[in-house]
Structure 1
Amino acid sequence: MQFQNIPHPDLPLEDHRFSKLLGRKNWAKLPPAIRRRFGKRVHRGGSVVYRGVVTQMKMNPAGRLLAHAARLIGAPLPYDLSCLGKPAVVIVTEDVAGNGQFWIRQYGRASGFPQMIHSSKRFAGPTGLEEYIGFGIGMALKVSVEASALLFKSDHYFLSVFGRHLRIPRLVAPGALVIGHHDLGAGKFRFSMRLDHKILGNILSQDAVFEDAKQ
């Protein structure tokens, strides 16, 4: 009689999607803690929660204007400088119906409700990874490793209409977005976000430090 090793429904499964995007050589360059975080898939749409605090937040006038204008399409960018030093929470949920993940980022503010940012990562498109923010707007991401950090860099922005992707011209795109995951050891990591415009320079940046999810 043969027995199958069936994982417990509440335990995370192995996830090779990010490692395939990077390739074996680049994946091996990442610290073990980052490989663990991005190498697990939560079973049956369960969620993983990371709690932390915003440690840096900057916006120039152009970044402030863009962040507030983007509130019309669901506020995909942090827009309140008062989130500095406030609690932050990231919730990652497996998209059971599709090949991807749902991400929710919650940033505390000096007053009022926290800002909630929703997005969906899908393993699709010309770069192998796309992030949707709603209203048919998304961006193709390239994944790379630099200085032992896992980086997600915008390749291009697009508008999805009736199943077709229409590229947004770089002239009117918000700029080059780079999101980083930097391991700090002791079960902590730094999330970094930087949005740079070719003419306006660094228009928005944010850092936050999180702790590993408690299993």
Structure 2
Amino acid sequence: MMVPSEGELFKKILGDRWSMLHPDIQARFDKNPLPGKPLYYTGRLSELRCSRIGCMLGYLSQPFIKGALMPYNDADFPVDIQVYSKRDCAWIFKQRTYRLNARKPVMFTSFMAESAKGDVLEYVGMGLGMKLVLDVRDGNLHFESDGYFWEMFGVRIPLPGMLTPGKTYLRHRNNHANQFDIHIEIRHVLFGTTFTQAGVFRELAYPLVGDDHE
């Protein structure tokens, strides 16, 4: 069985547009995390922001998807990321640990999968997820959500846009071979920007923690 990677999935989805990505980004996503041997990244968020509506949604969603929507405003704090695979599983997992100022660390794990129709899906917990559309602009990788869903017993039920946090926009921009920055915005059609994250990251060659993912 082929070891899953985001790169293999993104190549398939982007087709000829993959070659338009900066070579550093291509090389970054070409790495396949072997089971039990995650890829490690560390960085700092220069901005973590939520609106009043976002704050309310964050607190309401915490029991179900803690960390996916953080109801905090903060800045200049470290974030650790592990990207890993599991044996006999085609999903790609991403675990983020936000070490906020004057708060306990918040851990959030999502996983990315390809649907039977060839769509990129990201699941954030409790069967909740979103379909992602990929694009390449100025050599950088962009993601936009194209609808949220709740999956039950293998059936994806679309969620009305008005009842979601809003449309998600993510940009992965290359700085140099071992550094990139991430910018995320979630914008609601009525309430405007509900969540924002921005930070700079680099890859590490050694574990951040002693946890193994099998």
Same-fold call, TM cutoff 0.5: yes
CA distance 1:95–1:22, shift in 2 (3 Å): farther
- Counterpart residue number, 2:20: 29
Which ranges of 4 or more aligned residues in structure 1 deviate by more than 3 Å? 12-15
Q: Do residues 190 (structure 1) and 206 (structure 2) align?
A: no
Name which one, 1 or 2, has greater alpha-carbon Rg.
1
Distance in 2 separating the partners of 1:63 and 1:125: 32
Write the deviation string for residues 38-79 of structure 1: whole angstroms up to 9, x where unpaired.
Answer: 112122342001010011222211111112222121321233
SS in structure 1 of the partner of residue 163 of structure 2: coil
- Counterpart residue number, 1:17: 9
Q: What do you get for the CA RMSD once the two structures are aligned?
A: 2.1
Within 5 A, what are the aligned runs for 1:54-203?
Answer: 54-75=45-66, 76-82=68-74, 84-126=75-117, 128-203=119-194
* Aligned 8 A contact 2:54 2:194 in 1: yes
TM-score normalised by the chain length of structure 1: 0.87
TM-score normalised by the chain length of structure 2: 0.87
**Per-residue deviation at 1:86?**
0.8
Q: Which blocks of at least 5 consecutive residues in structure 2 are unaligned? A: 207-214
Write the deviation string for residues 135-177 of structure 1: whole angstroms up to 9, x where unpaired.
Answer: 1111111111122221121111111111111111122122100
CA distance 1:72–1:178, shift in 2 (3 Å): same
Identity %: 27
Write the deviation string for residues 22-46 of structure 1: whole angstroms up to 9, x where unpaired.
Answer: 112x111111111011112122342
Distance in 1 separating the partners of 2:157 and 2:15: 28
